[in-house]
Structure 1
Amino acid sequence: MSKYRPRPQDPAGEDDVVALLTHQHGQIRNLFDEVEAATGADRRDAFHRLVRMLAIHETAEEEVVHPFARRAFGDASEVVAERLEEERQAKEQLKALEDMGPEDPAFLPALLALREAVTRHARAEERYEFAALRRTADPQRLARMATAVRAAEATAPTHPHPGVESGAKNLALGPLAAVVDRTRDALRKANRSDG
């Protein structure tokens, strides 16, 4: 099987689900850097962007990638179960950080613990799931999955919802949670611009 090469009109290679999600892992690392380096309102804004990115990214993986992995490669059940458990734990940590707020003295140590867990999780996805996707899915399948990930992201919740890690639960509960989350985000943004 030939190594994937991005098409000229798509220099980032993001018409391929593995390239898209790996690129997002990089964006998440950059957002962690931004939150750590910022203070005050800038830290709060960067943290809100991180929360949104993580919530949307994980939902899309749970709806598209993990179910495909379970069906496509034989030894994936345990690998997927491990990733889902990591995602549940990260959602709990992220929710606790959201409840705490960036002003809390315990925020930065908790953020660093979350960063370590998310980094380990991303490495495991890339090493096990994404590598297996590369071996088993043809470029057309990878492109269709990238399209499905983008569609899932467009309607995903923007805040963590621990306990909603399966594709089925996301499809059942995600739309309602997304409406509530996106309304909450709009109100927060409107209140911030009024003040």
Structure 2
Amino acid sequence: MATTIETQSVDQMGGPGSVLARQRRDHAEMDRLMDRYRALEDGTERERVLKQVVQLVFSHAFAEETVLWPAVRRAVADGEELTSRVEEEHQEINDLVTDIERLEPGTAEREEKVTQVFALIRQDIRDEEDLVLPRLQEALDAARLRRLGAAWETVRRSAPTHPHPGVPRRPPGNAVLGVPLSLYDRLRDGLGLGVSGPWGRRILSGLVGLLVSGAVAAIVRKRR
């Protein structure tokens, strides 16, 4: 029986291109950034690091939900139960970060929610590395893990980078809506403070609304 991937070598996980190795690298970077946030005093640099945490967590989770968890459900006998647990954690993280992004930096309420979300992210990492990914490792050979890793990386690089509470956690809904939401998020990230005011939010919300409407219409046409 496969053990946690936390202590495995890269070769044991199927090589650097394996989805297991890619997941663990992202997890390590999340840990590093969260520690960095805690080590900094309030200010611009601390907010920049928090933004990096959010961008990495949400692009990573979107790739999991679009590519990785469907593979787990297909290959692992109790994959539905395992992925449902992680999806619930993802939804909690989504809700907490949505609240964080609405609150003023430096407030006690916001810092409490940051503490909560960091703890939840770390719990999610342990559930994935100790429970879900070892089961996938048992089911797939190294070549298939590398192919899955390539697909996962492709999705991650173009995934949304912020929470979207109403978006489904599973394909096809998340995959179709991911395109306009990724555009929205990357415009927001690129413009930085320019979208924090009401006019920036209205402009981008109007844009993503049009794109989402088109995506939903495409889903309806396909089902007909």
TM-score normalized with structure 1 length? 0.88
Quote the residue 1:149 is aligned against: 152
- Rg comparison, structure with higher value: 2
Distance 1:74 1:163, change over 3 A: farther
Distance 1:44 1:2, change over 3 A: closer
Superposition deviation, residue 13 in structure 1: 4.0
Quote the residue 1:59 is aligned against: 62
Residues 86-112 of structure 1: per-residue CA shift (max 9 Å, x gap): 101111111111111433222222111
Residues 109-143 of structure 1: per-residue CA shift (max 9 Å, x gap): 21111111111111111122100111111111110
Structure 1 residue ranges (4+ consecutive) displaced by more than 3 angstroms after TM superposition? 1-7
Quote the residue 2:122 is aligned against: 119
The answer to whether residue 191 in structure 2 is matched with residue 187 in structure 1 is: yes
Percent identity, aligned pairs only, is 28
What is the DSSP-based 3-state SS (H/G/I as helix, E as strand, rest coil) of the residue aligned with 2:172? helix
What is the DSSP-based 3-state SS (H/G/I as helix, E as strand, rest coil) of the residue aligned with 1:94? helix
2:72 to 69, 72, 97: 69
Q: Mind listing any 5+ residue stretches in structure 2 that lack a counterpart?
A: 196-224
TM-score normalized with structure 2 length? 0.77
Distance 1:13 1:94, change over 3 A: farther
Mapped partners of 1:85, 1:2: distance in 2: 24
What is the DSSP-based 3-state SS (H/G/I as helix, E as strand, rest coil) of the residue aligned with 2:108? coil
Distance 1:119 1:155, change over 3 A: same
What are the equivalent positions in structure 2 for 1:31-70 lying under 5 Å apart? 31-38=33-40, 39-70=42-73
Residues 16-56 of structure 1: per-residue CA shift (max 9 Å, x gap): 10111012111111111112222200111001111100110
The answer to whether residue 131 in structure 2 is matched with residue 128 in structure 1 is: yes
Contact persistence 2:2–2:138 (CA under 8 A)? no
What is the DSSP-based 3-state SS (H/G/I as helix, E as strand, rest coil) of the residue aligned with 2:162? coil
| Structure ranking higher on relative contact order (CA contacts 8 Å, 6+ apart) | 1
What is the DSSP-based 3-state SS (H/G/I as helix, E as strand, rest coil) of the residue aligned with 1:106? helix
2:91 to 88, 93, 114: 88
Contact persistence 1:73–1:132 (CA under 8 A)? yes
Contact persistence 2:2–2:135 (CA under 8 A)? no
Q: Mind listing any 5+ residue stretches in structure 1 that lack a counterpart?
A: none
Contact persistence 1:6–1:13 (CA under 8 A)? yes
The answer to whether residue 149 in structure 2 is matched with residue 161 in structure 1 is: no
